[in-house]
Amino acid sequence: MARRITYMQAINEALAQEMERDPSVVIFGEDNAGGAGAPGEDDAWGGVMGVTKGLYPKYPDRVLDTPISESAFIGAAAGAACSGLRPVAELMFVDFMGVCFDQIFNQAAKFRYMFGGKAKTPMVIRTMYGAGIRAASQHSQSLYPIFTHIPGLKVVVPSNPYDAKGLMIASIRDDDPVIFFENKVLYTMEGEVPEEPYTVPLGEAEYVREGDDVTVVAIGRMVGMAEQAAEALADEDIECEIIDPRTTSPLDEETIFESVENTGRLVVVDESNPRCSLAADIAARVAQECFDDLKAAPKMVTAPHTPPPFSPALEDLYVPDPERIAAAVREVAGAGARA
Amino acid sequence: MSETQQITKLGMPKWGLSMTEGTVVQWLIEEGTELQSGDEVVEVESEKINNAVESPAAGVLRRQVAQEGDVVPVGGLLGVIADASVPDPEIDAFVEEFQSTFVPEEAEAAAGPEPQTVEVGGRSIQYLAMGEGDPPLVLIHGFGGDINIWVFNQEALSADRAVYALDLPGHGGSSKDVGEGDLGSFASVVEGFLDALGIERAHLAGHSLGGAVAGAFALAHPERVASLVLIASAGLGEEINAGYIEGFIAANRRKEMKGVLGLLFANPDLVTRQLVNDVLRFKRLDGVDEALRTIADKVFPGGKQAGGLDLPALDVPILAIWGREDRIVPASHAGRLTERARIELLDDTGHMPQMEAAGAVNRLISGFLADAES
């Protein structure tokens, strides 16, 4: 069997292999090199969760710690990308992204368009999202819909170690700015990952499970939750087809539509807040494009429209879980055919 | 036979290392029907591919225990075969006894032998070994294939002898550097592989391009080849489906790849989503594109087989197996070996007889190897 490593190791390996392959790949962010003011320490921490651990000793000139100024180093990444490097910048928690929206939305996302296609911006912003580690409202949001909304950005939300590595390599090699969302709860997830470098194309959804009754589109950490729900539902003779878009921009609508044409029923599971979410977007696109195939109204399973709570008891209720997903699927599956 | 009449279990087969369970798609034979050993009884779908389970014995299909749509673990009971004279209560007792004592193997234990690697000429070559006994059989896949194309064959064939399946350079788990990427370079990898494993003499079975590789090795080292099995083999004529070769190299998305892989089978429905995914995962490894391009340019330049192998001149026993509906290498190429080889053409079978008609191919190879050794 193929080697098993964690989601975090898969991302680290992708970074290491791309740095080895391409000298223009550089990494920077808060604590990415050493942390604790300690560039040069061989056992440096490597980012707040340790994802870049081990890269600094190998590439001391290409792994940089930055001041605590997101607007400065994200702007620097956009500039570096325009002038020949392939920066991978780590912005610890996506919740902090607000201070550098201009650099991302008005600069990086617009260069190619405003310069008539002559400018490339091959940068990756790695960032963590999601609730579940008792880190409260300002460290637990799932903000990928905001970035999906902006033309000119690509948005990647891997759900497992294999995809994390292949999507990271594809993101680094891509000539457009990519926002790469890492779910902090998934860092310890293990899976089979080839040792060799490989890519997973941006914009191709994965069929996680095949089934004829209900299409379940799930994003990031929600894919595993949907799989658990599908296992339970299979015992009730409800077969879910689970689709993991893997990237929310570009979004592989074709695969989603194809599945809904077969099942006629849709549940979208999205960890973000419900308004203007990926769930809302996908449900709307399906309603528009597959109306005649639908046998029931699409359902969304999302976090509630509140900030992520600090209370552990409430946080556990906040994130969609297999029971909520299963309940939504049952409702959709039970709804009769429309006249 | 003693007084107790024999009752034979029809079990869920294990196709490949990762298979732990299969889904019953369709019974092909009704309860109460007489059948022969080797008859196709029930169609089963694994994660990777659909195939028919063959009867292990002659008799009557007395029970369809698993129903269509049931998921059954490897080794689990699909049906019961026994002579018509065995009383029903005995059959029922057999089923009850089996079901109450059967424990599916743990996923770990069920995984069976794992692929290993050996260094050959500076490259890492992955192979899978099963069984024991000399002379061994070495299985060589074709263009874009790997050890998994033998998933229905290797275990069955290893009942009588050691069987090795190897990944050629550029394929599967082997190094992606193919060097020259021509038949000669692959033949020397086979030579190095045999040397590294201390195999003096072996039966070689090659599929498609792997057949030409086996043939090139046999021409260079006839003393090391006990016999040659050529399955839908290259190396016997000029035509090759250039559309398939180019399509395989170009396909980067599931839909394109499904269409391309469909050309391999008489029944394109055999191509499952998992098979398509596995092939795409292979193709997306760094270096695979270049490897495939190099090989195609060398062995199929201008959409034709480079040729140049005088296989009829070989002084080793040859078995050639072809599907009559092969859309990649035409079955007419077998004609080149008339009066020189045992030739078997299979109905309703495309370019992958070892998968599409696995039972028949396994029996043909077993019988042929036994004859070659006697």
Task: Judge contact between A214 and A308, C-beta under 8 A.
Answer: no
What are the pLDDT digits (tens) for B139-152? 999 999 999 999 99
Q: Token pair for residue B28?
A: 């092909």
Task: Assess whether A139 carries a catalytic annotation.
Answer: yes
Tell me the C-alpha distance between A184 and A129, whole Å.
6
Instruction: Note the pLDDT of residue A326.
Output: 97
> Which element (helix H / strand E) includes B46?
none
Bridge partners (DSSP) of residue A129 are A183
| pLDDT number for residue A167 | 98
pLDDT tens digits, one per residue of B328-360: 999 999 999 988 899 999 999 999 999 999 989
For residue B120, what are the β-bridge partners?
A: B123
Question: Which chain B residue has the Cα nearest residue A254?
Answer: B255
What is the maximum alpha-carbon separation in chain B?
A: 67
- CA B96 to CA B94: how far, in whole Å? 5
Cα A155 vs. chain centroid, distance in angstroms? 7
Angle at the Cα of B320 from the Cα atoms of B257 and B58, rounded to 5 degrees: 90
B358 in Cβ contact with B51 (< 8 Å): yes
pLDDT of residue B273: 84
Predicted pLDDT of residue A165: 98
Q: What confidence tens digit (pLDDT) does each residue in B362-374 have? A: 999 999 999 988 8
Task: Kindly name the residue from A62, A112, A139, A154 that is annotated as catalytic.
Answer: A139
Please state, as a whole number, how many other Cβ atoms lie within 10 Å of the Cβ of residue B84. 10
What is the residue-level pLDDT of chain A in tens, covering all 339 positions?
478 999 999 999 999 999 999 999 999 998 888 654 455 555 567 777 889 888 988 898 999 989 999 999 999 999 999 999 999 999 999 999 999 999 999 999 999 999 999 999 999 999 999 999 999 999 999 999 999 999 999 999 999 999 999 999 999 999 999 999 999 999 999 999 999 999 999 999 999 999 999 999 999 999 999 999 999 999 999 999 999 999 999 999 999 999 999 999 999 999 999 999 999 999 999 999 999 999 999 999 999 999 999 999 999 999 999 999 999 999 999 875 543
Which of A172, A219, A181 is closest to A91 using CA atoms?
Answer: A181
Spell out which chain B residues touch chain A, with contact meaning CB-CB distance below 8 angstroms: 17-18, 111, 114, 176, 252-254, 273, 277, 281, 284-287
- The residue assigned the tokens 């946080």 is A315
Contact A196 B285 (CB under 8 A): yes
Taking the model in full, what pTM does it have? Answer: 0.86
Residue A37's pLDDT is 47
At B54 the pLDDT is 86
Report CB contact under 8 Å: B252, A1. no
Given a cut of 50, the residues of chain B with pLDDT beneath it are 1-4
| Prediction ipTM score | 0.85
Min CA distance, A210 vs chain B (Å)?
Answer: 9
Measure in Å the smallest separation between the Cα of A293 and chain B Cα atoms: 21
**φ, ψ dihedrals at B130, nearest 5°:** -140, 145
